[in-house]
Structure 1
């Protein structure tokens, strides 16, 4: 379906109002609706590199390159204004915008960042408000106005929102909403009186407004003495100057603080590192002043503490260093900041209403990005509680932070809470919203042992043996799901597939009426999503089992918004071939039709006839499935596993899964090579399955 390009202009009154958070939220929202979302900035800094534009283009790849995604640099604009060529500047920006608009289904424009009060060297630039209103009108954009709520009372915030709306409206802009960002809790409330458009207040989140250790080091031209990229990505929530004795400094250390102290204060460096390692306080990092490196003996002690903190060395003294550090503005430069910004935006803005205001129709194409973003939205809409047994694994901890910040699910992590918290401190992951449970000491262990012994008594399992078995994190997590203490489980980052799903087969078991549990992969192609089953569990299903796999796969597809049209695959199409393997697929197809007369299904059918309309027209004319199948059921594991991997590698497709199906409650297995993104997607899928159940 060809869409008319839509344009949303994010306009803020002055710098520092948080346009980045709002723009990110709107791009994320549109990325669930259309395949090609463009991002455009009318003006960027003098060197042409804009951190927000860079981040958005990397997160939401589109058809337009970076150099085509902005109108002009500040230097170019200044030169044109100085020569009294204002209209030429406007014309150039509009021309470059039109080029990106022609290639995208929707465009988000992020307004200028220069202040309404002109800075030195920018005296001739047009005022920000009028400039942005003019461009929004020229682009044909609707405007979302952003105002700062920082430090405001409810009355002051209401007045600012009304002023922003009426000022832009008076300049001819079409304002569809006003969003206040960084709003104190005391100022949050309803829509201000006299504001004729929707109003949303987004509260301040310290992690978004805080620079990272790396950003502070770069801004101060400091040298990185030690620290991994992850350590440099820690957020600096506070600054503490270390000039007093150890007890006094320890008393004044705060959560997320960057300790700034002369390099010769080895006592403070060791003491602060020990406090961080002990969990007394979680620091952001250590900054040494006066260009002094730390004493080697102190460094050896700090290394043994394994704090995970970065040490950076600044050239200036402590006073000037902290003065300069306090003026550093944070960027949406790390995945955790992006997740935090999206989480607070989605929690406080009515995204359904905003979607309606932006009037963007959903594309018939489904790209991988659209599908993955839609997973997050579906899971957020019906938030579930999931258990992750591998609570000390770094990827699980980083995924937990993302999932909690985005509001995807409530989580329980299994393991020793002290060890989980220690690992989280080492890598700088914020997991405070997760419940931590140690199976060895849990109050549920005895009850779980009794339940498991009763379930497995036919296998000779005694109560004593069951007590030992349920201490295993996968068995404990599965028992939580069976007992209703969690809605689903995701494991496998450090465990084998057998270790993850065997407890599910023993405890949760299959849905009544199904002979087998099975799995599917979501195959994310460039313009559509296909469902492949079974590619991971059943080696050689018989006809009845194959029918069950087809029915389960169709239900899974429907649960994730994919209209199921089922192709029962074989090396023969229709009656063109014969043999036991073809007969099995034909019998399975007949069983599916008998049990689900409403479900479009075709089989036996070859893969090319199932996916290619031209081949389908020749081999099975008139079929409602051939040429447009969405669910592909393979006759055996050998065929399915090899095919999904061949398509994944040859077509550069993203394979999401395996997703278990047919269990009474959802349990999903991760690859041991799973990335943080894979874990986030799998948790979202499991949450959706739990809601659909």
Structure 2
């Protein structure tokens, strides 16, 4: 068991973000890391923020910290040993189920002057390696060195065996490129040169730190994008009430503008993510904000100031904008007071802002040194394929694959944003089928930067090129006129591009139904030589492991032969994505405990699959609990090598599969990636119409990897 204590140099350094980022980075290496905050520094009326965020993000449990009141009382009466004993007890509780424990230390501040010294004592009690966490400024190495040196002295300097490294958080002065939000760990963001130059500057300004290699484990840039609050976080700060709450919990304040001059000189400020601050008697500002929102520009919100509030009749002209989610607040503070308060908001992440917490966690993780992580682990652990590791591998493999993926729903906002992310990160070369002006308009309204190299192809300019080839591919089934008509559908057009090897894969479904996406593939791409049908799988990202569910989207009621083929396809897909398959053929009965046509079908499918692929671990019929819960599996199928340990679940029909995947996804708040189609000659993948941008990004990555594997 290894324990790493993160010790801050002061307030506002991003300590909680550092802890969560390190836990995520370890998870990406397949290491199960626990979290411990031994002592709270918050009043007993409020929940501990770090502990709550850890629970929200990881869906894992941890212990409650010792209260601040108890901490201060016992220190005042000289009972620090009792505090340390309790901290060790909490540590041991977490150690039972984790490989590594990340401990959040106390924050030194004007009141808690004991924090620095007590952190050193805590490190000894827990036998922990120490990482110093500090903010930094590239242009002010001496100031950074002073803060680090003060902490180093408490732990015996750089030569101490307990000292593990220094993590620079919220580092100002780095290039703008380095502060972009990554989808996952991206080696190009390591900032090696900037880190080395900064360390050399620190050592030059503070030679007493030592001539040894300064152990920097990461340099995390300051990010304006990740330091922004939601509009809903502002109301309490400026003593405001809601005129229209709208999408206040989703919209973020990327920047704010106090508007005081004539409206015609201020129109350039009405852009995505802007918080407009104006005196309440400026009806022109209210109407301009409403017009911008009605035109598809997602302003962060509108804050009306001063005691005066517009009449209800004025807001009747703003109904469309309000229905579109424009948040509007009113405060009796002056415009100047309001702007001043909003400019000094804390960077701390609220407990309920899990979206921002997740982005910050990944951002921090992407700037940690993987080599340092491997050294600290020292090869002591057997890695597992955690959800984070799975997503990490997806992106890294797709970057290596370098494939071209067509997106027929090219003017759909989520698709455009996902394509921009994939293009900028090298996940795939994306081709948007849409009018270029429509894509540019959506991107501008939503504040999406279209990266260089992102292809936007106007369907009207290329459609006629595919008529003859389509007639040839579907010889005897359609004529030229019918082909022209079908090619009006961009999914059909994109499928033709794939059929002619002009792209390597296709992703659709954010707007279209599954049938709309899959039908052209059946007609033009067809099944691979080894298979007789097309099926689907979902990757279910449970807290500790990734499961594969098949088939949950395509085949309504497969017979035994087809079910066996689905099992084989799913096992091969699992292997392709780093999962060692243990396949459970699911039924309402385990073994021979039940009878009936449905059970017999599953039993027969199991035998066929075993005969066709003796190299695979397959068992069935198994009930879901017998397949997934070790104690139940041992009870119901004691001789099975799959029962209780299954990670590939094959459902007997579409009704069972689709119902189960949605029940698990919603009830357990599990992220699902897919459906991924299998059995086609070339990769075509379908999206849920409720897909998030991240879902689309990962589906594009899946498609690129499938294309690469089919070539190889």
The answer to whether the superposition gives a TM-score over 0.5 is yes
SS in 2 for 1:514: coil
Judged with a 3 Å threshold, the aligned counterparts in structure 2 of structure 1 residues 327 and 665 are, in CA distance, closer, same or farther, namely same
Judged with a 3 Å threshold, the aligned counterparts in structure 2 of structure 1 residues 481 and 352 are, in CA distance, closer, same or farther, namely farther
Residue 206 (structure 2) pairs with residue 219 (structure 1): no
* 1:258 corresponds to: 275
Q: Distance in 2 between matches of 1:647 and 1:181?
A: 37
Residue 332 (structure 2) pairs with residue 315 (structure 1): yes
Q: For each residue in 1:405-430, what CA deviation from the matched residue of structure 2 results, as whole angstroms up to 9, or x when unmatched?
A: 9987676665566666777788x675
The number of residue pairs the alignment matches comes to 665
* 1:381 corresponds to: 396
* 1:142 corresponds to: 129
Q: Distance in 2 between matches of 1:78 and 1:586?
A: 67
* 1:42 corresponds to: 39
* 1:551 corresponds to: 568
Judged with a 3 Å threshold, the aligned counterparts in structure 2 of structure 1 residues 319 and 592 are, in CA distance, closer, same or farther, namely same
Residue 309 (structure 2) pairs with residue 293 (structure 1): yes
Q: Give, in angstroms, the shift of residue 206 of structure 1.
A: 0.9
SS in 2 for 1:668: strand
Q: 1:348 aligns with which of 344, 347, 367?
A: 367
SS in 2 for 1:219: coil
TM-score by length of 2: 0.77
* 2:205 corresponds to: none
Q: Give, in angstroms, the shift of residue 677 of structure 1.
A: 7.2
The answer on whether the counterparts of 1:522 and 1:656 sit within 8 Å (CA) in structure 2 is: yes
Output aligned runs, 1:486-525, within 5 Å.
487-522=504-539
Q: 2:621 aligns with which of 574, 590, 606?
A: 606
Q: Distance in 1 between matches of 2:282 and 2:17?
A: 39
* 2:319 corresponds to: 303
The answer on whether the counterparts of 1:10 and 1:110 sit within 8 Å (CA) in structure 2 is: yes
Q: Distance in 2 between matches of 1:295 and 1:377?
A: 53
Residue 174 (structure 2) pairs with residue 185 (structure 1): yes
SS in 1 for 2:234: helix
Q: 1:71 aligns with which of 54, 58, 66?
A: 66
Q: Distance in 1 between matches of 2:234 and 2:679?
A: 51
Q: Distance in 1 between matches of 2:96 and 2:586?
A: 41
SS in 2 for 1:195: coil
Judged with a 3 Å threshold, the aligned counterparts in structure 2 of structure 1 residues 398 and 10 are, in CA distance, closer, same or farther, namely farther
* 1:153 corresponds to: 139
SS in 2 for 1:239: strand
Q: Give, in angstroms, the shift of residue 620 of structure 1.
A: 9.1
Judged with a 3 Å threshold, the aligned counterparts in structure 2 of structure 1 residues 548 and 163 are, in CA distance, closer, same or farther, namely same
| Stretches of structure 1 lacking an aligned partner (at least 5 in a row) | none
The answer on whether the counterparts of 1:375 and 1:681 sit within 8 Å (CA) in structure 2 is: no
Q: Give, in angstroms, the shift of residue 661 of structure 1.
A: 0.9
Judged with a 3 Å threshold, the aligned counterparts in structure 2 of structure 1 residues 303 and 583 are, in CA distance, closer, same or farther, namely closer
| Stretches of structure 2 lacking an aligned partner (at least 5 in a row) | 176-190, 201-211
The answer on whether the counterparts of 1:214 and 1:232 sit within 8 Å (CA) in structure 2 is: yes
Q: Distance in 1 between matches of 2:614 and 2:671?
A: 32
Q: Give, in angstroms, the shift of residue 291 of structure 1.
A: 3.2
* 2:260 corresponds to: 243
Judged with a 3 Å threshold, the aligned counterparts in structure 2 of structure 1 residues 414 and 53 are, in CA distance, closer, same or farther, namely farther
Q: Give, in angstroms, the shift of residue 107 of structure 1.
A: 2.8
* 2:60 corresponds to: 62
Q: 2:25 aligns with which of 12, 29, 39?
A: 29
SS in 2 for 1:225: strand
- State the Cα RMSD in Å: 4.6
SS in 2 for 1:180: strand
The answer on whether the counterparts of 1:149 and 1:181 sit within 8 Å (CA) in structure 2 is: yes
Q: Give, in angstroms, the shift of residue 488 of structure 1.
A: 3.8
* 2:15 corresponds to: 19
TM-score by length of 1: 0.79
* 1:132 corresponds to: 119
Q: Distance in 1 between matches of 2:279 and 2:635?
A: 80
Judged with a 3 Å threshold, the aligned counterparts in structure 2 of structure 1 residues 624 and 319 are, in CA distance, closer, same or farther, namely closer
Q: Give, in angstroms, the shift of residue 498 of structure 1.
A: 1.1
Output aligned runs, 1:67-466, within 5 Å.
68-73=63-68, 75-83=69-77, 89-102=83-96, 104-115=98-109, 118=110, 122=111, 125-150=112-137, 152-153=138-139, 155-156=141-142, 159=145, 163=149, 166-167=152-153, 169-170=155-156, 174-183=162-171, 184-185=173-174, 189-191=194-196, 192-193=199-200, 194-228=212-246, 230-251=247-268, 256-275=273-292, 283-305=299-321, 308-333=325-350, 334-351=353-370, 353-358=372-377, 370-371=386-387, 373-383=388-398, 386-390=405-409, 430=448, 432=450, 441=459, 443-449=461-467, 451-462=469-480, 465-466=482-483
Which has the higher mean CA deviation after the structures are superposed, 391-400 or 256-265?
391-400
The answer on whether the counterparts of 1:69 and 1:100 sit within 8 Å (CA) in structure 2 is: no
Q: 1:7 aligns with which of 3, 25, 36?
A: 3
Q: Distance in 2 between matches of 1:341 and 1:409?
A: 24
Q: Distance in 2 between matches of 1:447 and 1:353?
A: 54
